[in-house]
Amino acid sequence: MTSERAPDQSPLPAETDVEQAILDIARQRGDGKTIDPSDPARALSTGDGWQRVLPLVRRVAVRLAQEGRLIIYRKGKPVDPSAFRGVYRLGLPRDE
């Protein structure tokens, strides 16, 4: 008998938990550094279920960027949070 692993059906984390994970990991990474969206997704998930969390990470990241609390980067440049596509990274705004 083969043992097929059931897909992770654990509940998705709350948006407040996702927000906290994004900001905590970005702060830990340091000024001028960016994080991959999979970093908070993996931190909030068990096993292989982190990929299910990615759309939630993106949604929270967009909101944080619109609030001015986060910057979304594409190809190393800040992008409009409401109109970006593809691979992206997240970083904290620099204190100027």
Q: Can you tell me the distance from the alpha carbon of 52 to that of 28, in angstroms, rounded to the nearest whole number? A: 24
pLDDT value at residue 3: 45
Residue 24 lies in a domain: yes
44-48, 66-70, 75-79, 84-88: the lowest-pLDDT one: 44-48
Tally of structural domains, the chain: 1
Residue 69 inside a domain? The answer is yes
Q: Within a domain: residue 9?
A: no
pLDDT at 21: 98
Instruction: Say if CB 71 and CB 65 are below 8 A apart.
Output: yes
- Kindly state whether residue 5 falls inside one of the protein's structural domains: no
What pLDDT, on a 0 to 100 scale, did the predictor assign at position 46? Answer: 82
- Alpha-carbon distance of 90 to 71, in angstroms, equals 6
DSSP 90: E
Give residue 57's domain range: 15-91
pLDDT value at 2 more than 60: no
Which helix (H) or strand (E) segment is 43 a member of? helix 38-43
Q: Which residues pair with 14 in a beta bridge?
A: none
Query: Which pLDDT score, from 0 to 100, does residue 7 have?
Result: 55
Choose between 47 and 69: higher pLDDT: 69
**5 has pLDDT over 50:** no
Which CATH number goes with the domain that contains 77? 1.10.10.10
